[in-house]
């Protein structure tokens, strides 16, 4: 049995940001948590968060090590019916704490539409540019909706 840690960030007593393990997701898989395709990323988000059935938008981060194994999973933001605010700062502060080699981000569309909006492309572009500066590659941005997925990358 393999596990993936689901984290949040919190301030400790010294007001320093630290990782807090919120849950552990157990899975039985031959590929031992390797995420090497948008499909596997979307399946992980569906399995852990039930991404396509949420009534508000959520934005998630999958942190990968050099072997593309999941080293952390985060819910970065929780928005409204039509939007979820996200900034590269929130994405990469978490990625750095987990020692990311690369990341995959994802969010859901409660409308069940798999259309990629201009805002989706803009968020992807901003995260990609920030990752280039930090040396953490953005591997993909998946959108889950209606039981399916699409890449916004």
Residue 82 pLDDT > 80: no
For residue 2, the cross-strand partners are 27
Total domains present in the chain: 1
Pairing state between β 102-108 and 58-64: antiparallel
Distances from the Cα of 2 to the Cα of 29, 39, 63, angstroms: 7, 19, 16
Instruction: Please report the pLDDT score of residue 38 as a whole number.
Output: 95
Which run of H or of E encompasses 6? strand 2-11
The tens digit of pLDDT for each residue in 94-127 reads 999 999 999 999 999 999 999 999 999 999 999 9
Task: Report pTM.
Answer: 0.90
Residue 76 sits in a domain whose CATH number is 3.40.140.10
- Domain annotation covers residue 9: no
CA-to-CA distance for 41 and 64, rounded, in angstroms? 11
Residue 2 pLDDT > 70: yes
């Amino acid at each position: 049995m393999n596990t993936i840690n689901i984290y949040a960030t919190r301030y400790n007593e010294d007001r320093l940001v630290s990782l807090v393990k919120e849950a552990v997701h157990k899975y039985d898989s031959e590929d031992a948590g390797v995420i090497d395709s948008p499909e596997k990323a979307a399946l992980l988000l569906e399995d852990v968060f039930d991404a396509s059935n949420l009534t508000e938008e959520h934005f998630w981060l999958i942190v990968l090590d050099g072997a593309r194994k999941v080293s952390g999973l985060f819910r970065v933001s929780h928005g409204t019916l039509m939007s979820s605010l996200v900034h590269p700062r929130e994405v990469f502060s978490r990625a750095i704490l987990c020692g990311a080699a690369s990341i995959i981000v994802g969010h859901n569309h409660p409308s069940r539409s798999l259309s990629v909006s201009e805002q989706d492309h803009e968020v992807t572009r901003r995260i990609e540019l920030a990752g280039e500066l930090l040396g953490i590659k953005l591997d993909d941005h998946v959108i889950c909706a209606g039981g399916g997925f699409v890449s916004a990358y």
